[in-house]
Structure 1
């Protein structure tokens, strides 16, 4: 005799977000889905131009949508996210990997419909999205990080050119982009080849003996290697200029955040 289920398990599961929508993000098209109770055509396809995104937001408004789920696919979701938040929708950005791990999907349901159904029943976990000045600060910090990564590649190019000329500068100084290293590299690019004059450019804080530094600067320079060194140095300095510009923007955002935040009622303890 089969066991009877308790009455509270026989009741239908109530939606958590009855006016939920979802968008399957793509590079050229976005597939949006709403509940079948909101529109007789619950799944529609929109382009990625700004006008298309505005029409998508208008459709959500006509369907009385209050919250929208987006998959965080690359950076393609960002323009739609910004438009929807400006329109007043509560936008939830979810990880596509977590969505795929939810069991029970039917094969005849498209990605947008499945995402909408999961969001409707509160089965999606939102990714953290900072707001306001914090989002601006994070963008500047990420841009600065990318610039530093690109600059690091040109440091390696300078080391390669020095090695090809058998100038062992990067073996006798801790950092070729420090005061001593950059002075010597700039002098090499400018045409200086005398190891005594190059070693005399050592910074006073450099711990490498003058004789060791001079011996490391005796090499076999060739025109093509000097050319590669000059280009790597120029590109490295360009990136340093861009990093400095990012630092100015970051400092400005931090000042705005400091001005907007009231001082703490209780003074903070001194750092250990």
Structure 2
């Protein structure tokens, strides 16, 4: 006969995280072996997440588990991280939640049971400093890619308009090329001398 799972954590909480709210279930085992359950629902606004943190601490709960649902878990994790002994984030496929009609309270309780019984696998979450650095580097990469895309679009526009600046300048974003482009777009008549005046004396382009 299969034995029941052994409780690893006497007090723990399971969170069912959604975009606009979080359902929290705390289960604790008393000295007599009885399991006490309390549950509460919170909004995902910052102040309400802080209320969630305080509520967990008031119930002597320092271990929390939740699913990595989209990006919704991140604000919850950020608020609870420094106050809890562990905030475990799990891939939904590792939790094996029961199929059928969606029930937030049952899902949170199920997460709590699996976590308390040592049946969850934690996803790797880097520390706050690394997460911040990662966001900055990814943002920089995005800006660099966007700048490259805009540069290519500019060259294409010049090419289809019969302006071969990219064959004269190594970088059409430099000052000399920029002045020539502004001169062309001004709509005013211009001469070859006007164009040459835009070219810096330090420019290596043929004059």
- TM-score, normalising length from structure 2? 0.71
1:42 aligned counterpart, secondary structure: strand
Structure 2 residue aligned with 1:19 = 11
1:149–1:122 CA distance, 2 compared to 1 (3 A) = farther
Match among 142, 146, 150 for residue 142 of structure 2: 146
Equivalent residues of 1:31, 1:43 under 8 A apart: yes
TM-superposed deviation, 1:30 = 1.1
Deviations 1:37-68 (A, max 9, x none): 58865332101122211221122123322211
1:64 aligned counterpart, secondary structure: coil
Deviations 1:87-137 (A, max 9, x none): 2331112233x346x3x7254653322222222223322222222533332
Structure 1 residue aligned with 2:172 = 181
2:98 aligned counterpart, secondary structure: coil
Structure 1 residue aligned with 2:24 = 32
2:10 aligned counterpart, secondary structure: coil
Structure 1 residue aligned with 2:118 = 122
Equivalent residues of 2:11, 2:28 under 8 A apart: no
Superposed counterparts of 1:22-171, under 5 Å = 22-35=14-27, 37=29, 42-96=38-92, 98-99=93-94, 102=96, 105=98, 107=100, 110-170=106-166
TM-superposed deviation, 1:169 = 4.5
Query: Which structure has the highest helix share of the two?
Result: 1
1-side partners of 2:71 and 2:86: how far apart? Answer: 19
Structure 1 residue aligned with 2:187 = none
Greater shift in the superposed pair: 31-40 or 15-24:
31-40
Deviations 1:180-232 (A, max 9, x none): 3323540333316749849x77965x8xxx5xxx9xxxxxxxxxxxxxxxxxx
1:168–1:25 CA distance, 2 compared to 1 (3 A) = farther
Does residue 191 (structure 1) correspond to residue 183 (structure 2)? The answer is yes
1-side partners of 2:51 and 2:121: how far apart? Answer: 27
2-side partners of 1:169 and 1:117: how far apart? Answer: 67
Query: Which structure has the highest strand share of the two?
Result: 2
What 5-or-longer segments of structure 1 have no aligned partner? 215-272
- TM-score, normalising length from structure 1? 0.57
Equivalent residues of 1:180, 1:203 under 8 A apart: no
2:171 aligned counterpart, secondary structure: helix
1:35 aligned counterpart, secondary structure: strand
